[in-house]
């Protein structure tokens, strides 16, 4: 599932490719993809594409008409952009046909198909972006802001970091990496953290996410990725591999759909 660093790079690759282009037509090929009325999607035809940005784990494509297309890539959907000469594959959920002959396609080649799109007029005040927590890379996300978000919370750090109302954009993978970097156990209850530990967690959030954006950017090489690039992560998905700090095997705990990897020796 794409998270903040993945989507940040997708937005920066897609933006210059489509900015200023006019939408010639929209083809919805999986009707339940759309979470707002059918008319809202048709209204995008004729509009000019503006900036592409990310909020939490969503991509937002803005149009000069004041409309926005908000995209949740779900678990494995990805965006493709290229010349519209190739017929779309059966796993294409949505096509945005541009006046320059290129198209943006939302492709989901695995089931269940979990991607979703919205066309809100006021995206920050409407679902799915309304109610999202602070952006962890915003200057306003200070150690004090994190301290307030965690104060008195009798929930584990893993659960809190992946709660989109607490911090937007962090999921299972980057919560594991942030906690590894902070040397804090994913099972620690937030209310037991000292001031120094909250500060360490805050620093790890910024450092880990910025580092990951750089790594993904260089590996993507300007191409839209059809899957997340995660090979460089030290702990998430690395069960049994040696911890890069102490050499102990990386542990894994699976609970419901949530997989947590950590180093039992380094993280307390």
Residues at the site binding Zn ion, with contacts judged by CB under 5 A: 243, 245-246, 248, 263, 265-266
The Cα–Cα gap between 219 and 10 comes to: 12
Q: Smallest gap, in angstroms, from Cβ of residue 204 to Zn ion?
A: 15
The Cα–Cα gap between 104 and 107 comes to: 10
Measured from each CB, the residue nearest to Zn ion is: 243
Q: Which is nearer to Zn ion, 92 or 267 (CB)?
A: 267
- Judge contact between 50 and 64, C-beta under 8 A: yes
Q: Smallest gap, in angstroms, from Cβ of residue 261 to Zn ion?
A: 11
Q: Smallest gap, in angstroms, from Cβ of residue 242 to Zn ion?
A: 8
Q: Which is nearer to Zn ion, 168 or 243 (CB)?
A: 243
Q: Sign of the CA dihedral 9, 123, 166, 107?
A: negative
Q: Which is nearer to Zn ion, 62 or 181 (CB)?
A: 181
Q: Smallest gap, in angstroms, from Cβ of residue 232 to Zn ion?
A: 17
Q: Smallest gap, in angstroms, from Cβ of residue 246 to Zn ion?
A: 3
CA dist list (Å): 16 to 26, 71, 129, 228: 20, 18, 24, 21
The Cα–Cα gap between 9 and 229 comes to: 11
Q: Which is nearer to Zn ion, 139 or 240 (CB)?
A: 240
The Cα–Cα gap between 168 and 114 comes to: 19
Q: Smallest gap, in angstroms, from Cβ of residue 243 to Zn ion?
A: 3
Q: Which is nearer to Zn ion, 221 or 247 (CB)?
A: 247
Beta strands in the chain (DSSP E): 23-28, 49-55, 58-63, 68-72, 78-83, 92-98, 102-107, 116-118, 251-255, 258-262
Q: Which is nearer to Zn ion, 55 or 238 (CB)?
A: 238
């Amino acid at each position: 599932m794409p998270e903040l660093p993945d989507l940040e790079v997708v937005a920066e690759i897609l933006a210059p490719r489509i900015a200023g282009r006019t939408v010639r037509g929209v083809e919805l090929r999986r009707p339940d993809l759309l979470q707002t009325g059918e008319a809202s999607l048709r209204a995008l035809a004729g509009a000019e594409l503006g900036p592409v940005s990310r909020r939490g784990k969503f991509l937002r494509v803005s149009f000069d008409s004041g409309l926005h297309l908000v995209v949740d890539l779900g678990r494995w959907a990805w965006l493709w952009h290229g010349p519209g000469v190739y017929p779309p594959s059966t796993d294409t959920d949505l096509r945005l046909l541009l006046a320059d002959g290129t198209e943006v396609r939302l492709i989901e080649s695995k089931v269940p198909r979990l991607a979703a799109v919205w066309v809100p007029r006021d995206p920050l005040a409407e679902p799915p972006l309304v109610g999202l927590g602070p952006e962890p890379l915003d200057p306003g996300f200070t150690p004090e802001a994190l301290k307030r978000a965690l104060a008195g919370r009798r929930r584990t750090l893993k659960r809190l970091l992946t709660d989109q109302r607490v911090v937007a954009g962090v999921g299972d993978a980057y919560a594991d990496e942030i906690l590894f970097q902070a040397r804090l156990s994913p099972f620690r209850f937030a209310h037991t953290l000292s001031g120094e530990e909250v500060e360490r967690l805050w620093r790890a959030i910024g450092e880990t996410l910025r580092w990951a954006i750089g790594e993904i950017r260089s590996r993507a090489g300007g191409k839209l990725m059809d899957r997340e690039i995660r090979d460089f992560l030290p702990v998430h998905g690395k069960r049994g591999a040696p911890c890069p700090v102490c050499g102990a095997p990386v542990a894994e705990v699976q609970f419901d759909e949530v997989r947590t990897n950590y180093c039992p020796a380094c993280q307390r």
